[in-house]
Structure 1
Amino acid sequence: MIKDYWIEAIQNIKEFESIGIIEDGEIKKVNDELSNIINDQFIQTATEEGIARREKILNLTPFADDTLESRRFRVLSKWGDGLPYTYRSMIERLTQLCGEDGFSVQLNSNEYTMLVRVELTVKRMEDEARNLIRKMAPANLVINVELRYNQHGTLKRYTHRQLKAMTHKHIREEVLK
């Protein structure tokens, strides 16, 4: 509090106490804004305003129900385009985009094919993952990026009655809890 820095003679005067309360609020606003400026220097810690500024630079339009985290991932995937691309850097970028367990990659170098499956929990990132793979993978690979739909192992814990209450599309494409 600002009044802690005043001399004792004026610390307990009501007018000065009122001034101190107002000044404390203003000092808090300045400190918060300085913190935001520091956080906005890095994509991983950027505020809504910092991410919006980078989205504008990169011509990205966020979805209406995007979280700040998903917007950060999208900006990160566009921002960090550094050559040369390697398999390891592609996996690192996919991990940033989809999370550690959000995807799987099957590379068949003998047949020049790559299959990337994106988990249902991050299905919004499927298009971003597809764009990332197409940009980073060699041109001679046949690339297939798809969603990993619910498997029999996921569905076997449900009864027929529970499954009957859901649509086929819901069973196949939604994250079941």
Structure 2
Amino acid sequence: MLIDRWPNFLQDILEFRKIAEAEQPEFDNAAQAVENLHQEFSIFTVTEIGAARWERILGIQRAPGDTLAQRRSKIQTRYLSQLPYTYRNLLRYLAQISGDFTVNLDYANYTLYLDILLTGYEQKEVLFAVLADMLPANILLKLKSLIPMTTDNAPITPAVGVFTQVRHRSEPIQRGES
């Protein structure tokens, strides 16, 4: 109670007791906000307020209709990418994003094949953007993602959305052209 924090000689005065009663709801709201503040610092426990802050910090566009879990997934995917971008860090990053993935690097043809199980389309888009920044410009990325989808009253959970996207960042210029 707020009145208990005041000196004893003020607690006995009726006017100060009424002031404390009037201010108690605001004091409780402020104390609860401070109590919940630690959730906003972890990308795994953010609320709507923290998700908006992290999206602004990381430059992530919020799609209309995104749930809080989808927004957290986007934030985690972008935040967990680390510099320097090495093959070992790529594998470590993919292990944090999904436990089920395979990576094959074709050194001779400068092509990286990635098959990965993701939680949703929004995670795929953010992962694709991170990998486009992470991989060297001369590496061709072939991404195949499996996204499990649930349907209402279905006895099984079908997996849809298996597709391949190819990303190549460089635009080769033919010799002899100006």
Q: Same fold (TM over 0.5)?
A: yes
Structure 2 equivalent of residue 26 of structure 1? 26
RMSD: 3.9
Structure 1 equivalent of residue 144 of structure 2? 146
Q: Does 1:69 align with 2:56?
A: no
Structure 1 stretch 52-61 or stretch 125-134: which is displaced more?
52-61
* Residue 146 to residue 70, structure 1, CA distance change in 2 (3 Å): same
Structure 1 stretch 3-12 or stretch 127-136: which is displaced more?
3-12
Structure 2 equivalent of residue 53 of structure 1? 53
Structure 2 equivalent of residue 105 of structure 1? 102
Structure 2 equivalent of residue 89 of structure 1? 89
AA paired with 2:68?
A: L
* Residue 116 to residue 81, structure 1, CA distance change in 2 (3 Å): closer
**How many angstroms does 1:14 deviate by?**
9.2
Task: Provide the rounded CA distance (Å) in 2 between the counterparts of 1:18 and 1:115.
Answer: 70
The answer to whether the 8 A contact 1:126-1:146 is kept is no
TM-score (structure 2 length as normaliser): 0.60
Structure 2 equivalent of residue 131 of structure 1? 129
The answer to whether the 8 A contact 1:106-1:116 is kept is yes
TM-score (structure 1 length as normaliser): 0.60
Identity of aligned residues (%): 27
Structure 2 equivalent of residue 119 of structure 1? 117
AA paired with 2:69?
A: E
**How many angstroms does 1:21 deviate by?**
4.8
The answer to whether the 8 A contact 1:117-1:147 is kept is yes
AA paired with 1:138?
A: P
Number of aligned positions between the proteins = 155
Task: Provide the rounded CA distance (Å) in 1 between the counterparts of 2:143 and 2:131.
Answer: 8
Structure 1 equivalent of residue 160 of structure 2? 173
* Residue 90 to residue 18, structure 1, CA distance change in 2 (3 Å): farther
**What are structure 2's unaligned runs of at least 5 residues?**
149-153, 162-178
